[in-house]
Amino acid sequence: MSDNKLPSGHTRIDSLEMRGITKRFPGVLANNKVDFEVHAGEVHALLGENGAGKSTLMKILYGLYGQDEGDIILNGKKIKIDSPTDAINHGIGMIHQHFMLVETLTVAENVALGMPSSRGFLTDLDRVSERILELGKIYGLEIDPSAYIWQLSVGQQQRVEIIKALYRGAALLILDEPTAVLTPQEVKEFFVIMRQMVADGHALIFISHKLHEIMDICDRVTVLRDGELVGTKIIKEITKSELANWMVGREVSMTRELVDVELGPARLEVKGLCADSNRGTPAVRDFTLNVHSGEILGVAGISGNGQKELAEAITGLREVTGGSVLLEGEDITHCRPGEVTERMLSYIPEERMRDGMIKDFSIAENMILREHHKSPFAEKGFLMLKTIAKHSDQLIDRFRVKTPSRDTKAGTLSGGNIQKVVLAREISRQPRVLIAAQPTRGLDVGATEYVHAQLLEQRANGTAIMMISEDLDEVMALSDRIAVICEGELIGIVPRDEATPEKLGLMMAGVNPEEEAASAAR
């Protein structure tokens, strides 16, 4: 292996520099004279609050956006990147915050897409499949080339994205929040792959809001704030809390205070609930639990173990095949979603981009979605535009949604700000019961702190909160009790002070330590 070659056979990128990059969107200065530099053999973190301009800067590097000012310099030479094709030809790959896969195509087809074929105008999927397996072997990315994307878990889809980039000969890989959707176990595996790529001479740019990940995997970190460069530091020379404060520009608290709240009656009662997955297989099995007024019940579990189906069955979005759901004593098992909403149940879905908002609607419209047909937002069938405007301005302010105006299309917001719009809407209607799935996924540390504070305030006000999260730290920090779900079954419920990551981890794998202990004693 010669010195400037990677194991994939492609040429290394020794250094890449972005100088004085400026990018304007209507009403937003997304990047303002940003300098950024990365070299082979390092993981360089890009950190900043939601809407700081990280994705924009990276989309410029990948040729999806053109910069208004500034230069890109590769191995000392100024280059022009006008399209993703240019970027790919220069050895730059990108894994997007929202995956760029065609769900109805197979893995091999997705990898082959846009690449020249060895058989001319015919596709060469056999060759591509072989290469996928080969790359998979080098980097420990096991995947079936003939599987359809829609059949794969999020973690597997991510592998496809990485293979796609490697197949294209990426020497520099941009990873835009790759871990936001992964389980802790998947993150560990992902880091192994990243470490190997770096050791082989790749250059990696890593965006994440999880500071412990950045401390763990990165060599240097560059911080952006409001589109401007704050600075670049070596990770070894900074601590996690210094990093947080540096990024947000103020003190951020990492611990959460749970004040004592008097436990009220059970507001949400789930009794022997059963529901099927989209493919018709049982996803929730005989699930029973209660959520009381004034408590946060955390639901922990590895992604894809029925959490989504559970939430949807409760909220009326999915057909219930057995059991019942009571909301404040009333049976809502077979109610339509609208009727469930009327009874002041709020739901923050996991896939907010798809299930929680309408991309082409303005922020103001998105913020009244559940309540748009009734007072005070509508009177006698007319929308009360002034009230709506005032309401949305308040929420934008309270949740610090970074947007040029309330009339901006929600779809153009940064990833984290889209999340905030949905959170703001669901929390602000003062629900009796709140079901929140992955409430802080994709949020920066400051916003996470704020959302957690909001959840705790709701708890203090007596709302019954069911918080579904794959983030164990979050579950353990906020929950009064923690229910663990595995393969659609309730494994057990652990009170807050008895929960340890080890115990929860075991339960998430389907083992109930108490039952184990009991059977061992026998």
Ligand X SMILES: Nc1ncnc2c1ncn2[C@@H]1O[C@H](COP(=O)(O)OP(=O)(O)OP(=O)(O)O)[C@@H](O)[C@H]1O
- What SS3 state is found at 489? strand
Find the binding residues for another protein in span 348-367 (CB under 8 A): none
* Least Å from the CB of residue 90 to another protein: 12
Stretch that binds another protein, among 91-99, 190-198, 240-248, 476-484 (CB under 8 A): 91-99
* Least Å from the CB of residue 159 to Mg ion: 21
**In contact, 111 and 136? CB cutoff 8 Å:** no
* C-alpha pair distances (Å), 61 with each of 33, 94, 107, 136: 14, 9, 26, 26
Residue 114 binding target from ligand X, another protein, Mg ion, none, CB below 5 to 8 Å by type: another protein
Nearer to ligand X, 27 or 329 (CB): 27
Q: 69-104: b or e for each residue (b if 16 or more CB lie within 10 Å)?
A: ebebebbeeeeebeebeebbebbbbbbbbeeebeee
Would you state the structure tokens that stand for residue 345, as one six-digit string?
């149940």
Q: What angle do CA 215, 210, 156 make, to 5 degrees?
A: 105
* C-alpha pair distances (Å), 74 with each of 4, 16, 62, 405: 14, 5, 13, 37
Nearer to Mg ion, 31 or 97 (CB): 97
* Least Å from the CB of residue 281 to Mg ion: 34
Nearer to another protein, 26 or 381 (CB): 26
Residue 176 within binding range of another protein, rule CB under 8 A: no
- What SS3 state is found at 6? coil
**In contact, 299 and 478? CB cutoff 8 Å:** no
Residue 65 within binding range of another protein, rule CB under 8 A: yes
Nearer to another protein, 85 or 151 (CB): 85
Q: How far is CA 325 from the centre of its chain?
A: 29
Q: Which residue is nearest to Mg ion (CB)?
A: 55
Nearer to ligand X, 28 or 108 (CB): 28
Nearer to another protein, 143 or 483 (CB): 143
Q: What is the C-alpha to C-alpha distance for residues 115 and 185, in angstroms, rounded to an integer?
A: 32
Q: What is the C-alpha to C-alpha distance for residues 166 and 8, in angstroms, rounded to an integer?
A: 7
Q: What is the C-alpha to C-alpha distance for residues 86 and 501, in angstroms, rounded to an integer?
A: 46
**Matching residue, tokens 């405007």:** 389
Residue 88 binding target from Mg ion, another protein, ligand X, none, CB below 5 to 8 Å by type: another protein
* Least Å from the CB of residue 117 to another protein: 5
Find the binding residues for another protein in span 107-146 (CB under 8 A): 109-110, 112-117, 121-123
Q: What is the C-alpha to C-alpha distance for residues 398 and 392, in angstroms, rounded to an integer?
A: 10
Residue 148 binding target from Mg ion, another protein, ligand X, none, CB below 5 to 8 Å by type: none
Nearer to Mg ion, 189 or 228 (CB): 228
Nearer to ligand X, 28 or 299 (CB): 28
Residue 54 within binding range of another protein, rule CB under 8 A: no
Nearer to Mg ion, 46 or 507 (CB): 46
Residue 96 binding target from another protein, Mg ion, ligand X, none, CB below 5 to 8 Å by type: another protein
Beta strands in 208-333 (DSSP E): 220-225, 228-234, 266-276, 282-292, 296-300, 320-327, 330-331
- In the list 102, 385, 460, 517, the residue contacting another protein (rule: CB under 8 A) is 102
**In contact, 475 and 469? CB cutoff 8 Å:** yes
What's the farthest any 2 CA atoms get from each other in the chain?
Answer: 75
Nearer to ligand X, 11 or 412 (CB): 412
* Least Å from the CB of residue 327 to another protein: 32
Give, to the nearest 10 degrees, the angle between helix 184-199 and helix 154-167: 10
Residue 148 within binding range of another protein, rule CB under 8 A: no
3-state SS, 357-377, equals CCCCCEHHHHHCHHHCCCCCC
Residue 106 binding target from Mg ion, ligand X, another protein, none, CB below 5 to 8 Å by type: none
* Least Å from the CB of residue 28 to another protein: 12
* HSE value, Cβ hemisphere, 13 Å, CA-based, for 45: 25
**Which chain residues interact with Mg ion by CB under 5 A?**
55, 97, 415
**Which chain residues interact with ligand X by CB under 6 A?**
25, 28, 30, 48, 50-56, 97, 402-403, 412-417
* Least Å from the CB of residue 259 to ligand X: 30
Nearer to ligand X, 323 or 415 (CB): 415
Residue 164 within binding range of another protein, rule CB under 8 A: yes
Dihedral, 136, 141, 142, 148 alpha carbons, nearest 10: -100
Residue 402 binding target from Mg ion, ligand X, another protein, none, CB below 5 to 8 Å by type: ligand X
Residue 395 within binding range of another protein, rule CB under 8 A: no
Applying CB under 8 A, which residues contact another protein? Answer: 62, 64-66, 83-85, 88, 94, 96, 99-105, 109-110, 112-117, 121-123, 164, 168, 411-412
